[in-house]
Amino acid sequence: MLEALSRRIAAEIKKADPDGPTSVEVMEYALAIKLTEISTIFFVSITGWLTGHFFGSLLALGSLMLIRRFSGGIHFSNLTLCVFFTTIVCIIIPFITLSLSAILITNVCSLLMLIAYAPNHFIYIHKTKNHSYYKLICIFMCLLNFFIQSPIICLSLAIQSFSILPLWRGGERKWI
């Protein structure tokens, strides 16, 4: 659904400016990413508000998006499925209560996965000169939760850490 919408918008933009420097495919890709982000924020906000966990849901989404930016992880083949899954996860996380010991154990497991596998990108992307710092950023974010001790951030880190494990599609790390 989001793919079709981004394709239609990109085609309309190209129709309005046929001599523009950007191809329909590039516009479609950029629009799809933005539509996915906006849709996820919208649905998490609305559903979080309806369930009474607005700020907890946004904290789950924010921490998940931030750690994912630096750690990589598996991608769904369908953007609509990605929005649906992320919304469900971010709505469920605030309902889960963890003891302090469960937070610490989960943080340690997440930290170990991040140390071992972050960043792990399952799609072809261009490595940047700052890419070597991504692992350190991921580790710092996880270490920070040892002081914050937030169960919401803890679960977001754990879910994202699980998504970088080399269990998916052979676990390859691919770069162009």
Region 161-172: mean pLDDT is: 74
Query: So what's the pLDDT on residue 3?
Result: 80
pTM value is 0.86
Query: So what's the pLDDT on residue 126?
Result: 61
pLDDT at 175 over 50: no
Over the range 81-113, which residues count as b (16 or more CB within 10 Å of their CB) and which as e? ebbeebbebbbebbeeebeeeebeebbebbbeb
CA of residue 20 relative to chain centroid, distance: 31
Q: How confident is the model at residue 174 (pLDDT cuts 50, 70, 90)?
A: very low
Give CA–CA dist 83/65, Å, rounded.
12
Structural domain spans, the chain: 2-171
